[in-house]
Amino acid sequence: MPDILTVEIKRDLEYMYKITGDILNFLEDKNYENRNKEVHDLLEMIKFRLEDIGGILQKDIFNCDYLLTKKLIGSMEEKHKS
């Protein structure tokens, strides 16, 4: 199970890296002549992507907590057997 979660966490981090690149590319490519609509679109896109990142981070934090708890319990059980 830890190997599966490690692979999933790595995939999530790579996805967040891609999102960051997408946001940066979007910012570089935008023409700010029509600022009101452009700014509104930009803020909506940033909000949407940040919500994605927040959800991924929340899941990864939960998975890390699970792994840490499992490791702690395993260590305690090994000490108890000794």
Percent of the chain surpassing pLDDT 70: 88
Q: Which position has the higher pLDDT, 49 or 30?
A: 49
Q: What is the pTM of this model?
A: 0.61
| Contact in structure between 71 and 27 (CB atoms under 8 Å) | no
Q: What angle do CA 12, 13, 16 make, to 5 degrees?
A: 90
The confidence score (pLDDT) of residue 32 equals 62
| Residue 59: both structure tokens together | 């899941």
What confidence tens digit (pLDDT) does each residue in 18-46 have? Answer: 888 888 788 777 666 667 888 878 888 88
| Contact in structure between 64 and 38 (CB atoms under 8 Å) | no
Percent of the chain surpassing pLDDT 90: 0
| Contact in structure between 11 and 60 (CB atoms under 8 Å) | no
Does pLDDT of 60 surpass 70?
yes
| Contact in structure between 42 and 30 (CB atoms under 8 Å) | yes
CA proximity to 51, closest of 10, 19, 4, 28: 19
Query: Cα–Cα distance between 51 and 54 in angstroms, integer?
Result: 5
